[in-house]
Structure 1
Amino acid sequence: MGQASEISQVPPAEVTIAALHEMFNSKSQGGLMWNNLTEDDRRAFCFTAKLKERHVTIGLDEMDSLELARLHRAIKRIATVATKFNSISLSDFK
C-alpha cells in the first residue's frame, strides 16, 4: 500500500519537463538541445544558415521567426547530408 501513495506523489510529466526547461534556461526541447551544443557546433549551424556571429551565443528564444526557420532548415540539411557519410571510413574518404 505504501507504493500507491508514493506513485500519487510523482508530478505529471508536463510539470517535470517544464521544470527541466526552466532549470536549463530553455523553453523547448530544441532550445535545450541548442543550449547544450558546443560553440563550434553552433557556429557550424549558424554559418550554414547564413546567420551572424552573434547568433552563436544567443538562445533560440532570442531569435526571430525568420532566424529560427533558417537555423532549423540548416540543421536539417546538415543532418540529412551528414548521414550519407556515416558508413564511410577515413581510408575510404579520399
Structure 2
Amino acid sequence: MAQAQKIEQSVAPSAQESLANIHALFGSQSSAGLIYDNLPANIRTTICFTARLTKEHASMKLADMDDFAIAKVQRAINDLADALKPLAHRPLKDFK
C-alpha cells in the first residue's frame, strides 16, 4: 500500500507544471492569453477596434501579437472595463 501511494505522489505534476501543460494544450503562454484567445470573435473584434488594431489582429492569438499590440489590447480592455462598469448588470428599464 505504501508503495502505491509513493508512486501516485511522484507521478502527480506540480500546479505550475499543470498550468504550463494547459497553456501548451491551448497554444497560449499566459492565463490572460488563454482567456483572450477563447473570447467570442465579436468581443475580440471590439477590443481590437478599441485598441485601433487591424481586423487581422482580431483573429490572432495574443501570443502571436507583438509587444506593442499586446499593450494596446491590455489598455483597451481596461478602458472598456472601466467605461462599462457603471452600465453592467443594469435592468433593461434603465436603458429606456
Alpha-carbon displacement from aligned partner over 1:34-66 (angstroms, at most 9, x marks no partner): 111110010010010010000011111221111
Count of residue pairs the alignment pairs up: 94
Gaps of 5+ in 1: none
Aligned residue among 33, 41, 44 for 2:43: 41
The residue number in structure 2 matching 1:68 is: 70
Per the normalisation by structure 2, the TM-score is: 0.87
* Structure 2 gap segments, 5+ residues each: none
Structure 1 residue 87 displacement after superposition: 4.2
Q: List structure 1 segments (4+ residues) > 6 angstroms apart after TM superposition.
A: none
| Residue 4 of structure 1: how far off its partner (Å) | 4.6
TM-score, normalization by structure 1: 0.88
Alpha-carbon deviations, 1:5-26, whole Å to 9, x = none? 3344321111100100010011
RMSD of Structure 2 on Structure 1 (CA): 1.6
Distance in 2 between the 1:9 and 1:59 partners? 32
Identical aligned residues as a percent: 35
Q: Distance in 2 between matches of 1:87 and 1:37?
A: 19
